[in-house]
Structure formats: C-alpha cells, structure tokens
Amino acid sequence: MQGLSLSEAVFTDEDAVDSLQDIDVKCSGLTREDWVNKPVMLVNAGGENVAKGICRNVLPSDCVDDKCLGLDHVGVLVMEPIEGMMDMGSMFSLRMWPISCVFCQGYTLAHHLLVSAHRLRAQMRLLEKRRKEGRRAYVSTRTTPHPRPSKKSQVLQNTSIFQLSSFVCCERECTRFFPRDEVLALRTEFYTCSSRMRHAKQLEVHGQLHKLPGSSRNVVTLSGRDVCEKAWRHIFAISKTTFYRNRSEFKCGMRPRDHGNLNMKRNRVSTQQATATLSTLLEDKADMMPHKARTLPNGSRVVKMVLPRGTKWKKFLVTINKVSTRYNPHIRFVCAGDVQVTVEMVINMHG
C-alpha cells in the first residue's frame, strides 16, 4: 500500500474489498459523533423522501418518546415535512428514525458508519505494519510537557529545607543541628542575587576552608558555626560536581563571571575555531557597501559586506582545516555542512 492515501488503502486491501463491494469509496465516512447537527433527508421504507431535518440524538443510550435509540436509530428534528408524505403537524418535532433511512451528503448514516469503521480498521492495520517493519508509528498529536519548576522555587520550599535532617555529613552532624531558619535566610540571599555574585560565593568558600585543632577534616565558618564541606553543599543546595569544579577554578585563579549561556546553544570547539578563522577570511576578502546597512539583534548598526562574485565555500575548507590543526592537532576536520553553519554565525555577528 506504499504510495496510497489512507482512504485509498481502505478499499485496496484484499480483506476489505470482499466486504465492501457495494460501498462507494467517495463517501466521507462520518463517525457517529459527526452526525450531530448535520442536515439530513428522511425516507420511508420504499425509498421516497419524507421530510428534511437535522440530526440531534446519535448516542445509543439516548431516548426519544421514552424509547431507547439503540445502535440502529437516531433522533431527528423534523424541519420541512413533504406534503402528502408526512403530517405537516410534525414540523419541529423530534422523531426516531432508522439510520438506514436517513441520508446525509448523499449517503445513508449506516453507509457512513460502515465506511468509518473500515477506515479505522485499515488505519490500525497500517500502524501495525509499520510496527512490524520497525518504523515509528506516525502520530499527529503532540504532547505538551508539563512546566518544570525552577531550582530556586524548589530549594526555598519548607519540604526541601526539612530534608536536611535526613542527610548525613560527618560525625559532628553539622547539617542536623544547623538552624532551619538560617538555612532559609542563606538560601534566599544566595538564589536571589545575581549569577556573578553566586559564582563569587562558590569560589570564596574554597579560600575559607580550614581545619579544626586535632582534626583533619576541612570546615568553613558559616553564621558563626563551623560546618564541614558536605554540610555547606547541602545548606546551599550545591551539587558535588559543581562544588569540585569550583575548587579547580579557584586553584586556577578564575575570577567570578556571569552565566551568559541563557537561551544560547553551546558550539563544539571545532565550530568555534572554524568561526574565528572564517570570520578573518571573510573580513579580508569582503567588500563593504557604504550605502547598505542593517541593525543587529543587539541594536548596533553595521555596514553590509558582500563577497566577490564566484566565491566558493569549498575553497575555504582547506584553509580552515589547516589553521585549526596548526593550533590544535586533535581537533576534527570541518565539513561543508559545518561551513554552512559557521557562515550563518559570521553573518549574524558581522552583518
């Protein structure tokens, strides 16, 4: 059935053709839920038109004139009775009518129901076939992920603070006996300040570590109390990886910095090197157009630069890879796809 639409696949499947010989493939196949408020034509057992109406009750559990509709009847509101075929006093009355005698869009409701059932069955067969062939089943619905609470809102909750009692830090039990109100005050001050200030505090703690007399464990003085490293991490809700990374940064003499990565995509080292090399090459070869300028997202105004006619990006590959391997022999070579990405980055930076 490859190359066929779903409606065509319904009536070309061998299993369906045998049972659908008398069904018109042009039928839209309305489901029972779609019948509501549809204009219909009522006919009698002889196939003669009786009245025009609107389909109202379609559920099998609905009742009309104290009778349950069931699977074979619907409730129709009579709008225009045909004179001589139905009593004119039946106008605007709700009547129970068999689905085999109710026409909608040129087909009976029974015909629509049969087509929709086979269409659903064919769709399930297609999904099952994709699953057996190892292909992902196509799903048109998109699930919206639930919003994830921020770390700030999580660590400032009383539940998170009370969990400190369950943490075991050392034999002195620094976390257990540290006042909870001071923990809330320290966390509030820490997570409400700027990212540069938070990074500064994470670096400064490694310069404040000292050892108590007769002990080999490092402690830090916090609110007049000596607590161990693990207790300090739990109090400020800092992960172990971040704590020891900050220790390496402190030993290297790194100064406090801003975060700077919010809503930004981190590039590979090869892409950063290629961007710098390509930027130098473009600035040297491009011609400036003084009569053309544009505004960058940061608000600065730059003059447009145009490369000479006939410039090929593949000519830059050799130079980019030669410069990259000269400064970093372990860097991977840049392909044509990476050049396309770096060109867009250079255009965004230099206009």
Residue 166 sits at the vertex; the CA angle it makes with 162 and 168, to the nearest 5 degrees, is: 130
pLDDT grade, residue 335 (50/70/90)? low
Distance between CA atoms of residues 253 and 277, nearest Å: 29
> Is 70 exceeded by the pLDDT of residue 111?
yes
Instruction: Count the Cβ atoms, other than its own, within 10 Å of residue 116.
Output: 19
Whether residue 275 contacts residue 267, with contact meaning beta carbons closer than 8 Å, is answered with yes
- Say what the pLDDT of residue 282 is: 72
Identify the residue with better confidence: 112 or 23: 112
pLDDT of residue 42: 92
Lowest mean pLDDT among 176-185, 229-238, 338-347: 338-347
Taking residues 26-44, report their average pLDDT.
Answer: 87
Greater confidence (181 vs 269) lies with 181
Q: How many CB atoms lie within 10 A of CB 329?
A: 7
Q: Provide mean pLDDT across the span 123-148.
A: 67
- Per-residue DSSP letters for 179-246? -HHHHHHHHHHHHHS-HHHHHHHHHHGGGS-EE-TT--SEEEEETTEEEEHHHHHHHHT--HHHHHHH
pLDDT band of 144, cuts 50, 70, 90: low
Q: CA nearest 67: which of 46, 94, 44? A: 94
Tokens (6 digits) for 110:
């029974």
> In sequence order, what are the beta bridge partners of 39?
54
A 10 A CB-CB count for 265 gives 5
Show me where the domains of the chain are located: 6-132, 151-251, 269-350
Confidence category of residue 257, pLDDT binned at 50, 70, 90: confident
Average pLDDT value for residue range 310-325 = 71
Q: pTM of the full predicted structure? A: 0.38
Contact 69, 102 (CB under 8 A): no
- For 26-121, strand residue ranges (E) read 39-43, 49-57, 63-64, 67-68, 73-81, 94-98, 102-104, 107-108
CA distances from 227 to 38, 165, 183, 219, 221 (A): 75, 14, 13, 5, 6
Q: What are the pLDDT digits (tens) for 262-278?
A: 555 566 666 676 677 77
Share the mean pLDDT of the chain: 77
* Rg for the chain, CA atoms, rounded: 37
Looking at the chain, list the stretches that DSSP marks H as alpha helix, in order from N- to C-terminal side: 6-12, 14-19, 109-132, 151-155, 158-162, 174-177, 180-192, 195-204, 229-236, 240-251, 269-285, 314-327, 336-350
